[in-house]
Copies of this chain bind each other. A is one copy, B any other.
């Protein structure tokens, strides 16, 4: 199935109206862009990542992002503390196992976190292969929504699946696009009663903004401001424009 534009816009408007706080434990390359993407959709980012302090930030948040890029021992400790605080409060958290395919230690840590049952998982094909189909199936069975991005983005949960065929090739030429999508998924889950439809709406918004920005950009440099502007202004008319352009 494909996501429904009216539903997607309704969830986006809920994000804009409620301004969910998303605490991000994410890699140092992606931090500024992730914060700007969250602000562009109306969410409120925070990024503190010291273990003794992270609990207080998670207490004040509506969702948590755990992204494994540029890991170190201090960040791993902060992640364990943050996930513990999220579990204690029933807060949804999203796992993004960046580059799990490049390092066996990274893949092992990703598997360990996956067993803690994140609300959603964002990864690409190579990272999915590193985690293993068996582990992903097990995660889906206990309710984790898996968003595997690529030329076509595939969202799958325990009972349903959804495809998004939007976006632009320039998105592969901009750093941290996938990382920022993980944060958007966190913001959308924070305002959604149904996690699966929340993740579908997040991926739909992200792809639509990518398509619109791609049609206005002269390269990956001008793509970035166009993408943030598109996230900020996206509405029902934008989706109608995209439908017409097919």
Contacts and interface: CB of A to CB of B under 8 A. Distances in A.
A60 B48 CA distance: 29
A102 B46 contact: yes
A222 B220 contact: no
Contacts of A70: 47-50
Interface in A216-246: 217-222, 224-233
A106 interface: yes
A243 B28 CA distance: 39
B233 A226 contact: no
Interface residues of A, number: 55
Contacts of A226: 221-222
Given A103-B56, A173-B232, A221 B40 contact: yes
Given A32-B30, A35-B29, A56-B104, A46 B221 contact: no
A113 interface: no
Contacts of A105: 52-53, 56
Interface in A61-115: 69-74, 99, 102-106
Interface of A: 27-33, 35-36, 39-40, 45-50, 52-53, 56-57, 60, 69-74, 99, 102-106, 172-176, 217-222, 224-233
Given A49-B70, A219-B229, 4 more contacts: A48-B70, A52-B105, A56-B102, A221-B229
